[in-house]
Amino acid sequence: MAIPTPPKGAADIGVTGMAVMGSNLARNLARNGFKVAIHNRSVGKTEKVAAEHGGEGEFYPAESMADFVNALSTPRVAIIMVKAGAPTDAVIEELASLMDPGDIIVDCGNSNYHDTRRREADIRARGLHFVGSGVSGGEEGALNGPSIMPGGTAESYDRLGPMFETISAHVDGVPCCTHVGPDGAGHFVKMVHNGIEYADMQLIAEAYDLMRKALGMSAPDIGKVFEKWNATELDSYLIEITADVLQHYDFATGEPFIDVVLDRAGQKGTGAWTVQNAAEFGVPVTGIAEATFARSLSGGVPERQAGRKALPAGVQSVPVDDLEAFVEDIRQALYASKMVAYSQGFELIRKASAEYGWNVDLGAMARIWRGGCIIRAVFLNRITEAYERDPELALLLADPYFTGEIGKAVASWRRVVSYAALTGVPIPAFASSLAYYDGVRAERLPANLIQGQRDYFGAHTYRRVDREGTFHTLWSGDRSEVRED
């Protein structure tokens, strides 16, 4: 049965793409009093949303893209919720061909920010607005209030922002949505959010693994530990769900659920994007990188099988005399490593913002991540406060609050990393975070030797500590030094 043509200009906003995220976002808008046009390439999904959820608000189903666009009030706002890449480009082109100058196309998918910058420039040249917007919180967040990170022009935010702020999560009455910055800023910030999420999850997994292997604790008992930790400064969504997952039992076997789950972690690419962009910007995101590589290692089945058979352990037996004290050491190490991951992530946003002229408010980013999103945590309040104290803060860890917190944790952190190294428990995120911490606070790094080597084999030059200038040593000649600048 054909869908009736919706009235012209009846809807405040539209969503095309009625998979779970798209339909939930449309329902959230409708529940909050907005009139929503809905569309999907296969009309059956549009009909299903209208039939099952039509009572939640005012929906205007459209069978064709032309009817969908016609149903939108001007300036039109159309949200795309389809697969990233070529499908998104195809929908953008179809929408743009039907829209008028001043209309707004919004991509709420997990698009690469480079694609967003390209699309924004193209759409702007056609007189339209293009907004790349990060949306975090998964299916539940899309329906009940996500964290939303829209980029694009200030003019587009004037039209879109009030709607997004209304449907976003709210913490202390403040919406978890703000205008991030021009063109690709929103999707870049969402990418870094996801990278931090990778690090957070890996650190939690390493804490679990230490308690399991070092202390011989069962999954449910470890779950109870995480439950207690969630009442500390680690209070967060990820710690909360970790406690729940670890205390869940498999219905089929009666075993702890986590014990029947294969140890291979999937990934969709945003962690790798974060690492790639960090390398390009020269920002060491060690925790995020190791978390991404740990997922890759978990899926390397042939390599792991060969390693288990052939590689000697060379481990030591290190007794734990005080179980409770060691659990607290693990908690402190987790907290310290978490601080490093966030510091690195915010440094990456700062560098990209400076490069592209986005003027991203770092304190505001922490504020909108406090609710709705996967990394929501009480801890984020402290980050907002740090950037309010000093908007030009070069290193989040150098803020007085964080130097105090990490100072209380560093001895525990070192004990945990040392124990894991001696006993053969892999904790790449904990260990690399500590190495970064020691590197960033070091008076002098061994990079002087590396630069000397580079000058030796490639004449890459070097700078001196005792005078200005760029120099090269004639290594294959008389080894005299020449100035190159």
Angstrom distances, CA of residue 26 to CA of 18, 71, 89, 176, 228: 8, 15, 21, 18, 37
Gap between the Cα atoms of 113 and 358, Å rounded = 13
Q: DSSP per residue over 69-133, as a string?
A: HHTBPSSPEEEE-S-TTHHHHHHHHHHHTT--TT-EEEE-S---HHHHHHHHHHHHHTT-EEEEE
Q: Are 93 and 81 in contact (CB under 8 A)?
A: no
| Range of lowest pLDDT (5-19, 136-150, 259-273, 421-435) | 259-273
The residue behind tokens 């693994």 is 209
Amino acid residing at 39: H
Nearest-CA neighbor of 273 among 187, 203, 332? 187
Active-site residue, 227 included = no
Angstrom distances, CA of residue 337 to CA of 143, 286, 413: 32, 10, 8
Quick one: pLDDT at residue 301?
85
Q: Are 325 and 333 in contact (CB under 8 A)?
A: no
Q: Please pick, among 190, 206, 338, 405, the residue that the annotation labels catalytic.
A: 190
Quick one: pLDDT at residue 1?
53
Quick one: pLDDT at residue 203?
98
The residue behind tokens 């084999």 is 457
Separation of first and last alpha carbons in the chain: 76
pTM of the model: 0.94
Nearest-CA neighbor of 152 among 176, 117, 126, 194? 117
Average pLDDT over residues 77-84: 94
Gap between the Cα atoms of 197 and 154, Å rounded = 28
Residues of the chain with CATH 3.40.50.720: 11-178
Alpha-carbon 306 to chain mean position: 33
Q: Please pick, among 47, 120, 165, 197, the residue that the annotation labels catalytic.
A: 197
Assigned token pair, 18:
């009625």
Using DSSP's 3-state secondary structure scheme, residue 38 falls into strand
The dotted CATH code for 11-178 is 3.40.50.720
| Cβ-based neighbours of 427, under 8 Å, separated by 6 or more | 206, 209, 210, 416, 417, 420
Residues of the chain with CATH 1.10.1040.10: 188-439
Q: Are 123 and 175 in contact (CB under 8 A)?
A: no
Q: What percent of the chain has pLDDT over 90?
A: 91
Give the phi and the psi of residue 118 in degrees, each rounded to 5.
Answer: -65, -45
Gap between the Cα atoms of 123 and 414, Å rounded = 52
Nearest-CA neighbor of 123 among 164, 161, 78, 84? 78
Longest CA span, the chain: 88
Quick one: pLDDT at residue 267?
81
Q: Are 375 and 234 in contact (CB under 8 A)?
A: no
268 pLDDT band, cuts 50/70/90, is confident
The dotted CATH code for 444-481 is 1.20.5.320
The residue behind tokens 């406690």 is 243
Instruction: Give tens-digit pLDDT for 404-420.
Output: 999 999 999 999 999 99
Q: Are 352 and 358 in contact (CB under 8 A)?
A: yes
Average pLDDT over residues 328-332: 98
Residue 250 has a CB neighbour count (10 Å cut-off) of 13
Residue 2 has pLDDT above 80, yes or no: no
Higher-scoring residue by pLDDT: 339, 269: 339
Assigned token pair, 367:
């504020």
Residue 26 has pLDDT above 90, yes or no: yes
Residue 341 has pLDDT above 70, yes or no: yes
Residues of the chain with CATH 1.20.5.320: 444-481
Give the phi and the psi of residue 426 in degrees, each rounded to 5.
Answer: -75, 120
Nearest-CA neighbor of 337 among 308, 379, 368? 379
| Range of lowest pLDDT (113-122, 158-167, 374-383, 441-450) | 374-383
Average pLDDT over residues 192-216: 96
Active-site residue, 197 included = yes
Residue 220 has pLDDT above 90, yes or no: yes
Using DSSP's 3-state secondary structure scheme, residue 148 falls into strand
Q: What percent of the chain has pLDDT over 70?
A: 100
295 pLDDT band, cuts 50/70/90, is very high
315 pLDDT band, cuts 50/70/90, is confident
Average pLDDT over residues 170-196: 97
Task: Given CATH 3.90.1150.10, say whether it is the number of domain 188-439.
Answer: no
Please provide the average confidence, as pLDDT, over all residues in the chain: 95
